[in-house]
A and B are shown apart, each in its own frame.
Chain A
Amino acid sequence: MTFDTRDEGHWAALLVSVGRDRDREAFAELFERFAPRVKAFLIRTGLTPGLAEDCMQDVMVTLWRKAHLYDPTRATVSTWLFTIARNRKIDMIRKSRRPEPEDLPWGPEPEPAQAEALALREDSRRLAEAVAQLPPKQRDLIERAFYGDLSHSEIAAETGLPLGTIKSRIRLAIDRLRHAMDTDPPRAAGGSGK
């Protein structure tokens, strides 16, 4: 079982350069890599190939438009795309936008974030490997949870996945963001600029 998450650093760099430089070659490489996987994933969750194709195209357009918001210390490219695909799919099905948690600043961080981005990728790689190495029964459970044929109370709490590490990693990132916000000068008040 191979996971190309070893290359996550590569994909993250490409995505950052799409956001920063509108780099079309980087975009083409990301497209080649992820478009077929996003589409396959959407088909697994129950979309017809036609709808999955449309949804995937929306996702890739969004990748271009929102690349500047990607923060490699908060998510790997796969995770970021996973959430975009999921949200897009829900928006296609529903009339109203799905409610999302109050926003934290999800933008490029200044320099010292390098090490944290690396550490997040390392944790993510371990998680992906652990998913790959799960015994078939547990693996099946996880997949069914995400592909929608399992009631969520059926999901065993103990899957043996190293979710704890990734959680504490993310927790650190969130704390960092919160403290950055605390020291921010107060923003202009008022509900303008919607």
Chain B
Amino acid sequence: MIEGRSTMERTVTHPIGDELLIGYAAGLLPESYDLMVATAVSLDDDARARLEGFEAMGGALLAEAEVAPLRSDSFDKVMERIMGAGRADTVHVDVKTPRIDATLPQPLRDALGGDVDTLRWRGVGMGVKQIVIPCGDDEATARLLSIPGGQAMPDHGHGGTEITLVLKGAFHDGDLRYARGDIEVADDAVEHMPVADVGEDCICLVVTDAPLRFNKLLPRIAQRFLNI
């Protein structure tokens, strides 16, 4: 199956929320949230349209911003840089990323240095694998999780907010099914047990802004999850 094209046409059932899109548009999110939004938007044209709508709102604010006095040599300095730049610098041609049928959207491939088949996973028990994605932010953690088909995640609560974006496969949480492009947000009020659909492994991008509290058993797994 050609993932690139067909998933673009697929309607996301559980789309990313406006509050994340506004935060991204305004440029005010922590880095791991930016990664989440950029990845989700890559998989959801409707979210992209909403995002660009919020950016238009930012444009409206900029258009009617008051005017700040410029440094007296502002314009000259800018012209100097423009005219003084080497040819390679000035004639800057952006090479469009060729569309490839990758499982991971571009922002994630950039963050990880490759697509799913080239990644170095770390087992965390029960067949679950993860990769912690370095994001340089203290506020939240981003990781890629791979859960074997049919496998349940340990029952857990949340000390903060957990955002899960499905990249491959699918999982059920209660009655709801989440597939590629879908997002589940769980806050500290939620205690749940997502179960990967039987069949292929379920790969998700998960951003958490506080350590998960695993409720029962598997303390070792919990520890290894937390100890990152």
Q: Which residue, B42, B78, B81, has most C-beta atoms of chain A within 10 A? A: B78
CB closest residue in chain A, given B77: A57
Residues of B within 8 A of A75 (CB): 52, 55-56, 59
Checking B27, B64, B92, B106 against A103 with a beta-carbon cut-off of 8 angstroms, the contacting residue is: B106
Interface of A is mostly: helix
- Choose one: B35, B56, B89, B95; the contact of A79 (CB below 8 Å): B56
Chain B 58-86: CB-based contact to A (< 8 A → 1; otherwise 0) = 11111111111111001101100110000
Which among B43-51, B119-127, B209-217 touches the partner chain?
A: B43-51
A163 within 8 A of B: yes
B29 to chain A, nearest CB (A): 8
Interface residues in A53-67 (C-beta closer than 8 Å to B): 53, 56-57, 60-61, 64-66
Q: Are B26 and A146 in contact (CB under 8 A)?
A: yes
B226 part of interface (Cβ distance < 8 Å): no
B132 at the interface (CB under 8 A from A): no
Cβ of A112 < 8 Å from any Cβ of B? no
Taking a contact as CB atoms under 8 Å apart, the answer to whether B62 and A102 are in contact is no
- Contact size range, A: 35 or more
A117 on interface, CB distance cutoff 8 Å: no
**B99/A31 in contact, CB under 8 A:** no
Q: Distance (Å) between the CB of B16 and the closest chain A CB?
A: 11
Given that A86-B27, A94-B31, A101-B38 are known contacts, is A124 also in contact with B94, CB under 8 Å in the complex?
A: no
Other A-B pairs beyond A86-B26, A100-B38, 12, CB < 8 Å: A28-B75, A35-B74, A37-B66, A39-B67, A40-B67, A41-B61, A65-B92, A101-B105, A127-B60, A146-B25, A146-B26, A170-B53
Closest 4 CB pairs of A and B: A79-B59, A36-B67, A102-B42, A99-B107
Q: 13 interchain pairs (CB within 8 A)?
A: A5-B63, A31-B75, A38-B65, A39-B67, A40-B66, A49-B68, A61-B81, A86-B25, A90-B27, A101-B51, A123-B56, A146-B26, A152-B22
